[in-house]
Amino acid sequence: MEHAVKKSVTFSDWDPADVINDKEDVIAFLMVALADNNPNELLRTIGNITRSKGMTQIAKELGVDRVGLYKSLTPDGNPSFKTVFKLLDLLGLQIKIEPKLRINSVIVKKNLRRL
Do the domain assignments include residue 2?
no
Is the per-residue pLDDT at 105 higher than 60?
Answer: no
Give the separation between CA 25 and CA 22, rounded to whole angstroms.
5
Count structural domains, the chain: 1
**Does 89 have pLDDT greater than 70?**
yes
> Looking at the domain assignment, is residue 72 inside a domain?
yes
Best CA proximity match to 32, nearest among 16, 18, 21: 16
Q: Please check whether residue 104 lies inside any domain of the structure.
A: yes
Residue 83 domain-assigned? yes
**Does 42 have pLDDT greater than 60?**
yes
CB environment 60-99: b (16+ within 10 A), e (fewer): eebebeeeebbebbeeebebeeebbebbeeebebeeeeee
Of 22 and 107, more confident: 22
Q: Please report the pLDDT score of residue 115 as a whole number.
A: 56
Higher-pLDDT residue of 8 and 90 is: 90
Q: What digits encode the pLDDT tens for the residues 48-58? A: 999 999 999 99
Is residue 3 in some structural domain? Answer: no
- In a domain, residue 33? The reply is yes
